[in-house]
Amino acid sequence: MAGGAAVIVGAGIGGVSAALALALSGWQVRVFEQSAAAEEVGAGLQLGPNAVKVLDTWGLGAALRAVSSAPRGVEMRDDRTFRLIATVPLGPTIAARYGAPYLQIHRADLLRLLLNAAMGAGVAFTYGQHVADWAARPKADLVLAADGIRSALRAPVSGASDPRFSGQVAWRATVPAAAVPGLDPAATLLALGPRRHLVAYTLRDGALWNIVAVREDAPPAGEGWRAPGDARALRHAFADAAAPVRALLAGVDTCILWGLYDHRPLPRWRRDNVALIGDAAHPMLPFMAQGAAMAIEDAAVLAGALTRHPQPAAALAAYETRRRPRTTRLQRVARGNARIYHAANPLLARGLHGAIAARAALPGGLLGRFDWLYGWTPEMGERLTSAALP
Protein backbone atom coordinates (compact mmCIF):
# COMPACT_ATOMS: atom_id res chain seq x y z
CA MET A 1 0.00 0.00 0.00
CA ALA A 2 1.58 3.28 -1.00
CA GLY A 3 0.20 6.39 0.58
CA GLY A 4 -2.32 5.90 3.42
CA ALA A 5 -2.45 7.65 6.79
CA ALA A 6 -0.07 6.49 9.52
CA VAL A 7 0.16 7.34 13.23
CA ILE A 8 3.43 6.75 15.07
CA VAL A 9 3.81 6.83 18.86
CA GLY A 10 7.30 7.91 19.93
CA ALA A 11 9.74 10.33 18.33
CA GLY A 12 13.00 8.60 19.21
CA ILE A 13 15.39 7.38 16.51
CA GLY A 14 13.03 4.49 15.64
CA GLY A 15 9.84 6.52 15.39
CA VAL A 16 11.38 9.36 13.41
CA SER A 17 13.16 6.93 11.05
CA ALA A 18 9.86 5.18 10.37
CA ALA A 19 8.10 8.51 9.87
CA LEU A 20 10.71 9.57 7.31
CA ALA A 21 10.71 6.23 5.47
CA LEU A 22 6.89 6.22 5.20
CA ALA A 23 6.68 9.87 4.17
CA LEU A 24 9.26 9.23 1.42
CA SER A 25 6.92 6.45 0.16
CA GLY A 26 3.94 8.81 -0.03
CA TRP A 27 2.31 8.27 3.39
CA GLN A 28 0.67 11.01 5.46
CA VAL A 29 2.37 10.60 8.83
CA ARG A 30 1.56 12.01 12.28
CA VAL A 31 3.91 11.37 15.22
CA PHE A 32 2.93 11.73 18.90
CA GLU A 33 5.70 12.13 21.46
CA GLN A 34 5.29 12.38 25.23
CA SER A 35 8.28 14.69 25.82
CA ALA A 36 7.59 18.40 25.64
CA ALA A 37 10.17 18.83 22.86
CA ALA A 38 12.55 16.82 20.68
CA GLU A 39 15.21 15.48 22.99
CA GLU A 40 17.83 12.73 23.14
CA VAL A 41 20.15 11.46 25.82
CA GLY A 42 23.34 13.55 25.71
CA ALA A 43 25.48 10.66 24.59
CA GLY A 44 27.13 9.16 21.58
CA LEU A 45 26.04 6.42 19.23
CA GLN A 46 28.08 4.04 17.11
CA LEU A 47 26.42 3.52 13.73
CA GLY A 48 27.35 0.37 11.84
CA PRO A 49 27.61 0.43 8.03
CA ASN A 50 24.30 -1.47 7.83
CA ALA A 51 22.51 1.58 9.29
CA VAL A 52 24.60 4.09 7.35
CA LYS A 53 23.54 2.41 4.08
CA VAL A 54 19.88 3.00 4.99
CA LEU A 55 20.50 6.65 5.85
CA ASP A 56 22.30 7.01 2.51
CA THR A 57 19.23 5.71 0.62
CA TRP A 58 17.14 8.38 2.39
CA GLY A 59 19.44 11.07 0.98
CA LEU A 60 21.08 11.89 4.33
CA GLY A 61 24.60 10.65 3.47
CA ALA A 62 26.39 13.99 3.11
CA ALA A 63 24.69 15.64 6.11
CA LEU A 64 25.39 12.54 8.22
CA ARG A 65 29.07 12.48 7.36
CA ALA A 66 29.33 16.21 8.15
CA VAL A 67 28.30 15.64 11.79
CA SER A 68 29.98 12.29 12.47
CA SER A 69 33.43 10.75 12.37
CA ALA A 70 34.84 7.42 11.25
CA PRO A 71 37.18 5.85 13.83
CA ARG A 72 40.34 4.13 12.64
CA GLY A 73 39.49 0.97 14.54
CA VAL A 74 38.40 -0.54 17.83
CA GLU A 75 41.32 -1.22 20.15
CA MET A 76 40.48 -4.00 22.60
CA ARG A 77 42.65 -3.72 25.69
CA ASP A 78 43.02 -5.30 29.10
CA ASP A 79 41.76 -2.50 31.33
CA ARG A 80 44.33 -2.99 34.09
CA THR A 81 47.55 -3.56 32.12
CA PHE A 82 46.31 -1.63 29.04
CA ARG A 83 47.88 -4.37 26.92
CA LEU A 84 46.47 -4.41 23.38
CA ILE A 85 44.47 -7.65 22.90
CA ALA A 86 43.39 -7.04 19.30
CA THR A 87 42.33 -4.35 16.87
CA VAL A 88 39.16 -4.41 14.77
CA PRO A 89 40.02 -2.27 11.74
CA LEU A 90 37.25 0.19 10.86
CA GLY A 91 38.01 3.35 8.81
CA PRO A 92 38.62 2.60 5.11
CA THR A 93 38.75 -1.18 5.73
CA ILE A 94 35.15 -1.49 6.83
CA ALA A 95 33.93 1.00 4.21
CA ALA A 96 35.58 -1.03 1.44
CA ARG A 97 34.26 -4.34 2.78
CA TYR A 98 30.65 -3.32 3.37
CA GLY A 99 30.07 -0.29 1.14
CA ALA A 100 29.65 2.28 3.94
CA PRO A 101 31.66 3.57 6.89
CA TYR A 102 31.30 2.84 10.59
CA LEU A 103 30.47 6.18 12.20
CA GLN A 104 30.36 7.81 15.62
CA ILE A 105 27.78 10.53 16.16
CA HIS A 106 26.13 12.46 18.98
CA ARG A 107 22.59 11.10 19.44
CA ALA A 108 21.10 14.60 19.40
CA ASP A 109 22.83 15.31 16.05
CA LEU A 110 21.40 12.14 14.48
CA LEU A 111 17.91 12.84 15.82
CA ARG A 112 18.05 16.43 14.50
CA LEU A 113 19.11 15.18 11.06
CA LEU A 114 16.22 12.69 10.94
CA LEU A 115 13.69 15.21 12.29
CA ASN A 116 14.62 17.89 9.75
CA ALA A 117 14.34 15.37 6.92
CA ALA A 118 10.99 14.04 8.22
CA MET A 119 9.52 17.54 8.61
CA GLY A 120 10.81 18.39 5.13
CA ALA A 121 8.95 15.32 3.83
CA GLY A 122 5.69 16.55 5.45
CA VAL A 123 5.57 14.59 8.73
CA ALA A 124 3.53 16.32 11.48
CA PHE A 125 4.87 16.09 15.05
CA THR A 126 2.86 16.63 18.24
CA TYR A 127 4.92 16.91 21.44
CA GLY A 128 3.71 16.63 25.02
CA GLN A 129 1.25 13.88 24.07
CA HIS A 130 1.47 10.63 26.03
CA VAL A 131 -0.44 7.85 24.24
CA ALA A 132 -1.41 5.27 26.83
CA ASP A 133 -3.82 3.12 24.86
CA TRP A 134 -3.63 2.30 21.17
CA ALA A 135 -7.37 1.55 21.06
CA ALA A 136 -7.95 5.28 21.69
CA ARG A 137 -5.60 6.28 18.88
CA PRO A 138 -6.62 8.66 16.09
CA LYS A 139 -8.03 6.85 13.03
CA ALA A 140 -5.29 5.67 10.66
CA ASP A 141 -4.54 2.92 8.14
CA LEU A 142 -1.42 2.01 10.09
CA VAL A 143 -0.27 2.54 13.69
CA LEU A 144 3.33 2.05 14.81
CA ALA A 145 4.38 1.79 18.43
CA ALA A 146 7.91 3.21 18.56
CA ASP A 147 7.73 3.91 22.29
CA GLY A 148 11.02 2.35 23.29
CA ILE A 149 12.32 -0.33 25.60
CA ARG A 150 9.66 0.32 28.29
CA SER A 151 6.86 0.38 25.70
CA ALA A 152 3.36 0.73 27.14
CA LEU A 153 1.83 -0.24 23.81
CA ARG A 154 3.72 -3.54 23.61
CA ALA A 155 1.45 -5.56 25.91
CA PRO A 156 -1.80 -5.17 23.89
CA VAL A 157 0.05 -6.23 20.72
CA SER A 158 2.31 -8.90 22.08
CA GLY A 159 1.10 -9.94 25.51
CA ALA A 160 3.04 -9.35 28.70
CA SER A 161 6.82 -9.04 28.32
CA ASP A 162 9.26 -10.24 30.93
CA PRO A 163 12.14 -7.82 31.43
CA ARG A 164 14.77 -9.37 33.65
CA PHE A 165 17.58 -7.38 35.24
CA SER A 166 20.75 -8.53 33.48
CA GLY A 167 22.94 -8.02 36.55
CA GLN A 168 24.68 -5.10 34.81
CA VAL A 169 24.49 -1.34 35.07
CA ALA A 170 25.83 1.17 32.54
CA TRP A 171 27.07 4.68 33.21
CA ARG A 172 26.97 7.08 30.28
CA ALA A 173 28.85 10.36 30.23
CA THR A 174 30.42 12.87 27.88
CA VAL A 175 33.42 14.91 28.93
CA PRO A 176 35.16 17.80 27.17
CA ALA A 177 38.05 16.25 25.28
CA ALA A 178 41.32 17.21 26.89
CA ALA A 179 44.19 15.07 25.61
CA VAL A 180 44.37 11.92 27.71
CA PRO A 181 47.89 10.47 27.77
CA GLY A 182 47.84 6.98 26.26
CA LEU A 183 44.45 7.36 24.53
CA ASP A 184 44.22 7.73 20.76
CA PRO A 185 41.28 10.01 19.89
CA ALA A 186 41.15 8.50 16.38
CA ALA A 187 40.39 5.02 17.74
CA THR A 188 37.57 3.54 19.80
CA LEU A 189 38.69 2.06 23.10
CA LEU A 190 37.09 -1.18 24.33
CA ALA A 191 38.69 -1.88 27.71
CA LEU A 192 37.92 -5.29 29.24
CA GLY A 193 38.15 -6.06 32.94
CA PRO A 194 36.77 -8.45 35.53
CA ARG A 195 32.97 -8.06 35.66
CA ARG A 196 33.17 -4.76 33.78
CA HIS A 197 34.08 -3.07 30.51
CA LEU A 198 34.35 0.44 29.18
CA VAL A 199 33.88 1.92 25.70
CA ALA A 200 35.23 5.39 24.87
CA TYR A 201 35.33 7.39 21.65
CA THR A 202 35.34 11.01 20.55
CA LEU A 203 32.42 13.02 19.15
CA ARG A 204 31.93 16.34 17.34
CA ASP A 205 35.36 16.63 15.72
CA GLY A 206 37.09 15.50 18.88
CA ALA A 207 35.38 18.05 21.16
CA LEU A 208 33.93 15.39 23.48
CA TRP A 209 34.85 11.97 24.80
CA ASN A 210 31.82 9.68 25.00
CA ILE A 211 32.02 7.03 27.71
CA VAL A 212 29.90 3.95 28.33
CA ALA A 213 31.11 2.05 31.40
CA VAL A 214 29.43 -1.22 32.33
CA ARG A 215 29.78 -3.11 35.58
CA GLU A 216 28.05 -6.11 37.12
CA ASP A 217 26.04 -4.74 40.02
CA ALA A 218 22.63 -4.53 41.69
CA PRO A 219 19.91 -2.61 39.81
CA PRO A 220 19.80 1.14 40.43
CA ALA A 221 17.20 1.95 43.07
CA GLY A 222 14.41 4.45 42.93
CA GLU A 223 13.94 5.88 39.51
CA GLY A 224 13.53 2.81 37.38
CA TRP A 225 15.82 1.95 34.50
CA ARG A 226 17.57 5.27 34.14
CA ALA A 227 18.72 7.51 36.97
CA PRO A 228 21.26 10.25 37.61
CA GLY A 229 24.58 8.50 38.22
CA ASP A 230 27.27 9.23 40.78
CA ALA A 231 30.61 10.06 39.14
CA ARG A 232 32.45 8.97 42.30
CA ALA A 233 30.81 5.53 42.17
CA LEU A 234 31.85 5.27 38.51
CA ARG A 235 35.45 6.14 39.34
CA HIS A 236 35.38 3.73 42.27
CA ALA A 237 34.21 0.89 39.98
CA PHE A 238 37.32 1.42 37.80
CA ALA A 239 39.72 2.46 40.58
CA ASP A 240 42.23 -0.30 39.74
CA ALA A 241 42.08 0.28 35.96
CA ALA A 242 45.10 1.52 33.98
CA ALA A 243 46.12 5.20 34.08
CA PRO A 244 44.48 6.25 30.74
CA VAL A 245 41.10 4.86 31.88
CA ARG A 246 41.36 6.57 35.25
CA ALA A 247 42.47 9.83 33.59
CA LEU A 248 39.43 9.70 31.32
CA LEU A 249 37.04 9.07 34.21
CA ALA A 250 38.63 11.86 36.27
CA GLY A 251 37.00 14.30 33.82
CA VAL A 252 33.45 13.00 34.42
CA ASP A 253 31.28 15.56 36.12
CA THR A 254 27.73 14.29 35.54
CA CYS A 255 26.59 10.90 34.31
CA ILE A 256 23.48 8.78 33.80
CA LEU A 257 23.12 5.31 35.29
CA TRP A 258 21.11 2.65 33.46
CA GLY A 259 20.01 -0.67 34.80
CA LEU A 260 20.38 -3.02 31.82
CA TYR A 261 17.35 -5.27 31.35
CA ASP A 262 17.14 -8.25 29.06
CA HIS A 263 14.03 -9.52 27.27
CA ARG A 264 13.19 -12.76 25.52
CA PRO A 265 12.14 -12.29 21.88
CA LEU A 266 8.49 -11.22 21.85
CA PRO A 267 5.92 -13.76 20.61
CA ARG A 268 4.46 -11.26 18.12
CA TRP A 269 5.13 -7.77 16.86
CA ARG A 270 1.76 -6.89 15.24
CA ARG A 271 -1.97 -7.09 15.61
CA ASP A 272 -4.30 -6.01 12.77
CA ASN A 273 -2.86 -2.72 11.48
CA VAL A 274 -0.71 -2.04 14.58
CA ALA A 275 2.98 -2.98 14.78
CA LEU A 276 5.94 -2.53 17.10
CA ILE A 277 9.19 -1.05 15.84
CA GLY A 278 12.66 -0.40 17.32
CA ASP A 279 13.26 -1.15 21.00
CA ALA A 280 9.53 -1.70 21.52
CA ALA A 281 9.79 -4.75 19.21
CA HIS A 282 13.24 -6.09 20.04
CA PRO A 283 14.82 -4.65 23.18
CA MET A 284 18.44 -5.76 23.38
CA LEU A 285 21.45 -5.31 25.62
CA PRO A 286 23.76 -2.62 24.19
CA PHE A 287 26.84 -4.86 23.77
CA MET A 288 26.71 -4.92 19.98
CA ALA A 289 25.97 -1.16 19.65
CA GLN A 290 23.14 -2.01 17.23
CA GLY A 291 19.81 -1.10 18.88
CA ALA A 292 19.36 2.18 17.01
CA ALA A 293 20.75 0.60 13.82
CA MET A 294 18.07 -2.11 14.04
CA ALA A 295 15.36 0.55 14.46
CA ILE A 296 16.64 2.28 11.30
CA GLU A 297 16.71 -1.03 9.40
CA ASP A 298 13.15 -1.79 10.65
CA ALA A 299 11.94 1.48 9.16
CA ALA A 300 13.44 0.75 5.74
CA VAL A 301 12.08 -2.81 5.59
CA LEU A 302 8.63 -1.75 6.75
CA ALA A 303 8.39 1.04 4.17
CA GLY A 304 9.48 -1.41 1.44
CA ALA A 305 6.89 -4.00 2.52
CA LEU A 306 4.13 -1.36 2.55
CA THR A 307 5.01 -0.38 -1.00
CA ARG A 308 4.66 -3.96 -2.19
CA HIS A 309 1.57 -5.13 -0.33
CA PRO A 310 -1.88 -3.61 -0.89
CA GLN A 311 -3.08 -4.36 2.67
CA PRO A 312 -1.17 -2.98 5.69
CA ALA A 313 -1.78 -6.23 7.61
CA ALA A 314 0.01 -8.23 4.89
CA ALA A 315 2.84 -5.71 4.82
CA LEU A 316 3.21 -5.94 8.60
CA ALA A 317 3.37 -9.73 8.35
CA ALA A 318 6.16 -9.39 5.77
CA TYR A 319 7.96 -6.90 8.00
CA GLU A 320 7.86 -9.18 11.03
CA THR A 321 8.88 -12.26 9.02
CA ARG A 322 11.95 -10.50 7.68
CA ARG A 323 13.05 -8.68 10.80
CA ARG A 324 12.51 -11.20 13.57
CA PRO A 325 15.38 -13.67 12.81
CA ARG A 326 17.95 -10.91 12.49
CA THR A 327 16.99 -9.03 15.66
CA THR A 328 16.65 -12.29 17.63
CA ARG A 329 20.18 -13.24 16.60
CA LEU A 330 21.48 -9.85 17.71
CA GLN A 331 19.72 -10.11 21.08
CA ARG A 332 21.55 -13.42 21.60
CA VAL A 333 24.97 -12.22 20.42
CA ALA A 334 24.76 -9.06 22.56
CA ARG A 335 23.97 -11.18 25.63
CA GLY A 336 26.96 -13.43 24.91
CA ASN A 337 29.37 -10.50 24.54
CA ALA A 338 28.97 -9.57 28.20
CA ARG A 339 30.19 -13.05 29.20
CA ILE A 340 33.27 -12.66 26.99
CA TYR A 341 34.02 -9.06 28.00
CA HIS A 342 33.56 -9.56 31.76
CA ALA A 343 35.49 -12.78 32.42
CA ALA A 344 36.57 -12.54 36.06
CA ASN A 345 38.69 -15.68 36.39
CA PRO A 346 42.22 -14.65 35.29
CA LEU A 347 42.86 -17.95 33.47
CA LEU A 348 39.55 -17.76 31.62
CA ALA A 349 40.16 -14.09 30.76
CA ARG A 350 43.62 -14.91 29.40
CA GLY A 351 42.18 -17.75 27.33
CA LEU A 352 39.38 -15.62 25.92
CA HIS A 353 41.71 -12.72 25.14
CA GLY A 354 44.10 -15.16 23.45
CA ALA A 355 41.27 -16.58 21.35
CA ILE A 356 40.24 -13.05 20.29
CA ALA A 357 43.84 -12.23 19.31
CA ALA A 358 44.15 -15.50 17.35
CA ARG A 359 40.93 -14.80 15.48
CA ALA A 360 42.12 -11.26 14.70
CA ALA A 361 45.25 -12.73 13.08
CA LEU A 362 43.26 -14.92 10.65
CA PRO A 363 42.44 -13.70 7.12
CA GLY A 364 39.36 -11.46 7.42
CA GLY A 365 40.27 -10.83 11.07
CA LEU A 366 37.59 -10.05 13.62
CA LEU A 367 35.48 -8.25 11.03
CA GLY A 368 34.85 -11.55 9.26
CA ARG A 369 32.57 -12.56 12.16
CA PHE A 370 30.26 -9.69 11.33
CA ASP A 371 29.61 -10.07 7.62
CA TRP A 372 26.01 -11.16 8.39
CA LEU A 373 25.51 -7.95 10.34
CA TYR A 374 27.38 -5.19 8.53
CA GLY A 375 26.98 -6.71 5.04
CA TRP A 376 23.19 -6.20 5.17
CA THR A 377 21.78 -3.77 2.60
CA PRO A 378 18.32 -2.19 2.33
CA GLU A 379 17.86 -3.93 -1.04
CA MET A 380 18.62 -7.27 0.58
CA GLY A 381 16.03 -6.57 3.30
CA GLU A 382 13.39 -5.73 0.70
CA ARG A 383 14.22 -8.56 -1.70
CA LEU A 384 14.07 -11.13 1.06
CA THR A 385 10.87 -9.59 2.39
CA SER A 386 9.03 -10.36 -0.79
CA ALA A 387 10.74 -13.74 -1.18
CA ALA A 388 9.63 -14.74 2.31
CA LEU A 389 5.97 -14.25 1.45
CA PRO A 390 3.44 -16.12 -0.62
Where do contacts with ligand FAD occur on this chain (CB under 6 A)? 9-15, 32-35, 45-46, 130-132, 146-149, 152, 170, 172, 212, 258, 278-280, 286, 289-293, 295
**Which residue number, 166 or 377, has a Cβ lying nearer to ligand FAD?**
166
| Cα dihedral sign, 17-22-28-32 | negative
Q: Which is nearer to ligand FAD, 13 or 275 (CB)?
A: 13
Taking the complex as a whole, the smallest distance from the CB of residue 299 to ligand FAD amounts, in Å, to 10
> Catalytic annotation on 127?
no
- AA letter at 79: D
The dihedral through the CA atoms of 3, 9, 15, 20 has a sign that is: positive
When the beta carbons of 1 and 299 are compared against ligand FAD, the nearer one is: 299
CA dihedral sign, ordered 375, 379, 385, 390: negative
Q: At what angle do helices 291-308 and 13-24 cross, to 10 degrees?
A: 30
- Minimal distance, residue 290 CB to ligand FAD, in Å: 5
- Cα–Cα dist 32/11, whole Å: 7
Q: How far is the CB of 14 from ligand FAD (least distance, A)?
A: 3
Residue count of the chain, please give it.
390
Between 27 and 171, CB nearer to ligand FAD? 171
Measured CA angle at 147 (ends 144, 152), to 5 deg:
100
Whole-number minimum distance, CB 149 to ligand FAD, in Å? 6
Q: Which of 98, 102, 127, 201 is catalytic?
A: 201
Distances (CA, A) of 295 to 11, 146, 252, 311: 12, 9, 30, 22
**What residues act catalytically?**
201
